[in-house]
Chains A and B, each alone.
Chain A
Amino acid sequence: MKYLYVYPEKCTGCRECSLACSLTKFGECNPKKAAITVIRDEFNKYEFPIVCYQCEDPVCLKYCHQNAYSIEDGVVIRDEDKCIGCRLCAVLCPYNAITAIDGEIIKCDLCGGDPMCVKFCTTGAIEYLDETEELEKRRKEMAEKFLEISGK
């Protein structure tokens, strides 16, 4: 199974990933209307891509009272028809990986296996890789580190 992996040390903050995401999902260039967000602060010196980690036991799915979420082939998918736009998933996601903007809920679906964000990253800061044991370890480390930073 392939997932997105982020390498913040390689991220330059350019947001091509977000722009590609918004362009493919909505036909517009808007880094704030994307399923991948680069949190960047050049004064405090960090660039950090936030992606959906496609959790095995996702809170978005667990707490969705409309049962809009399901897991298909390891990817957490939101059913737009069932979704009533309550934004609970966006509020609950511990990684802030679900975006709610302009009445849209934006959740990464890995572009059906061809993620556009990865295509436009020039430094390898986001990669779409097979889940090997090593990568899985790294992914979990990253998630834990992130939880630690966000104080949850």
Chain B
Amino acid sequence: MLNRKLGIIDLSKRKVKITQTPDNLKKAFLGGRGLNIHYLYDMVKSDIDPLGPENVLIFGTGFLTGTLVPNSSRFNVSAKSPETGILGDANCGGYFAAELRYAGFDRLIILGKAKEPSYLHVTDGTIEIKGAKEYWGLDTTDVQLAFKKDLGQVEAAVCGVAGENLVRFACVRTGVKNAAGRCGLGAVMGSKNLKAVVTKGTQGIEIAHPEKMFEVVEELKDYLMSSKITPILGSVGTPLLYEVSNAFGAIRTKNSQLNAWSDTLNADVVETFVDKMIGCSSCFVHCRHRNKLGGEGPEYTALGLLGANLGIEDTAHVIELNNICNELGLDISSSGTILAWVFELYERGIIDKKMAGEKLRFGDFELAKSLLYKISRREGFGDILAESTRNVERFGEKSKDYLIAVKGLPQSDPHDVRYMKAFALGIATASRGADHLRSRPTLEIFFNLPKEVRERIYGKGVTNDPTSYIAKEKPVYFSDNIFAAIDCLGICKFICHGFNSPHYVDYAWMKKLIHCTSGWQFKEKEIEAVGKRVIDIERMFNTREGITRKDDTLPKRYFDDPMPLKIAKGHHIDRKEFDKLLTRYYKIRGWDKDGQVKKERVRELEALQ
């Protein structure tokens, strides 16, 4: 399993180099998100244009991807983000990553820019740069079907029309709905004239200790399947979260002017649109809804951000918007956030009909739909919206007060974080901007999580009160580290300890899985150290792009406007308390008071380069 190759493809020079990541680097970063940031930090110069040929685009599979290990389907796509100008990194499931490994590769690093539309064809140890003229302009499903027709049962990671047109929140897509959604990495593909990476392989992943793998995975299967959470995720999926967040009053509604919305988007309504639940490669959870309207989803994110946040109540409409985003290759989180932002700006008179070309309003499905198409083609007002959060300059400083974004990245999760302080710190400090998949620290609200379990996981002093700021740096620190580690392994967060449950795959499980697969003996602390290393280098990357303490903040509304509805009513983030919490977070991370990685640590990590 350690013999997979690293492909370095220079599209400008049309040169392919096949090499290997040395074992010492694999030991330091494992794979996936970790090795991606290692290479990115090394190869990307800080002053480059993310949409220029100097940007480096990396597709990296996880250390365990494609094996019998449960939910080991994942890969990370990384580059400098055209949406934020800092780290761009997105994790994705499906079948592409496993197939890339069966084709003999761990990772592809793509440099330069092709002269004409191209795709990479990766098969059993070889990489070819091929012309993609006939595939350019196709939607994400159509292009994948065309590749299957022309090349057989391939898996492909593609950009849509949005990526071709350099929409700054274009995603990379594989399959019907899996997306490396965030940070505009589809636009990086478009900027390189790269429509797709297409792969097919027959090379098995050799396992160091097959008997041991059977034993460990069978034990893990019993453990995962005995949890009450697994069957709920596998039958209802993430739409259950909508109902929970909504009942609570934590669903971002109409650009966070409100915090609760209609019951019509509840899981039992969504269920009426579900054909079958399906899974990604090696998945035990199978949370993917094959919907009756021709696509997959919606996930909680789509329900919240294309539903409540746009003021849309009809589930069928939300599913249609979800399917459109997927077909065009638009990131759902950014799409829903940016549209809601301009709807409110219009209501407030900050932008007018002259700029928008038409009247903007919440609750108008046809308007939302037509804007998504316009964004993807950069037509009219869509050309402006395609610039995402960079529009603060165009719309004026006042517009920033209503923007639900951090570090230029629209918030991913439809959860209004004003109530849960640890969650708020998480999105303020996440390495790619406002994002819940770096550290969603939600265990603290567990009903009867015994004190000793809580302390074992998070350390001492963390209270069970989600509204308290006391020691909330600890759950964020813990979650950051373990989620980074699981992203390096290529395992889905749905079975990661601390994401949905105080159970599931923790460092002890990771240690066993790494050992049976590769024969490598890691200590639990060493796996945690991989996670910490990743967080630190990601921060160093961002520091080089000018990120400092002032950027680790929250949307103004989260500080200044108390939540108006339901249980969460009245809650907001206190600036002083938040500032103290941030200081404590830096301290526990070992960063200086401005949030920078300390010099000796920088030297240590740069020595690995």
Contacts and interface: CB of A to CB of B under 8 A. Distances in A.
> What class of interface size applies to chain B in its complex with A?
35 or more
A23 B207 contact: yes
Given A30-B102, A30-B202, A123-B286, 15 more contacts: A12-B283, A14-B284, A15-B281, A16-B70, A19-B67, A20-B214, A23-B207, A23-B213, A28-B207, A29-B66, A30-B205, A32-B102, A32-B204, A42-B176, A43-B145
A29 B204 contact: yes
B282 interface: yes
B207 A43 contact: no
Interface in B273-292: 275-284, 286, 290
Contact of B278 (A30, A47, A101, A122): A47
Given A30-B102, A33-B204, A20 B144 contact: no
Contacts of B203: 30
Interface string A111-148: 00000100110110000000000000000000000000
Nearest to B153: A41
B210 A24 contact: yes
A28 B277 CA distance: 28
Given A30-B202, A33-B202, A43-B145, A14 B207 contact: no
Contact of A27 (B144, B145, B175, B210): B210
Contacts of B225: 122
Interface of B: 66-68, 70, 98, 102, 141, 144-145, 148, 175-176, 202-207, 210, 213-214, 217-218, 221, 225, 234, 275-284, 286, 290, 296
Contacts of A116: 214
A119 B67 CA distance: 15
A50 to B, nearest CB: 14
Interface string A92-123: 00000000011000000000000010011011
Interface size class of A (residues with CB under 8 A): 20 to 34
B40 to A, nearest CB: 28
Interface in A41-81: 42-43, 45, 47
B204 A43 contact: no
A79 B175 CA distance: 40
Contacts of A20: 68, 214
B173 to A, nearest CB: 12
Contacts of B277: 12
B355 to A, nearest CB: 39
A43 B225 CA distance: 28
A43 B221 contact: no
B68 A120 contact: yes
Contacts of A32: 102, 202, 204
Given A22-B204, A42-B175, A45-B290, A122 B67 contact: no
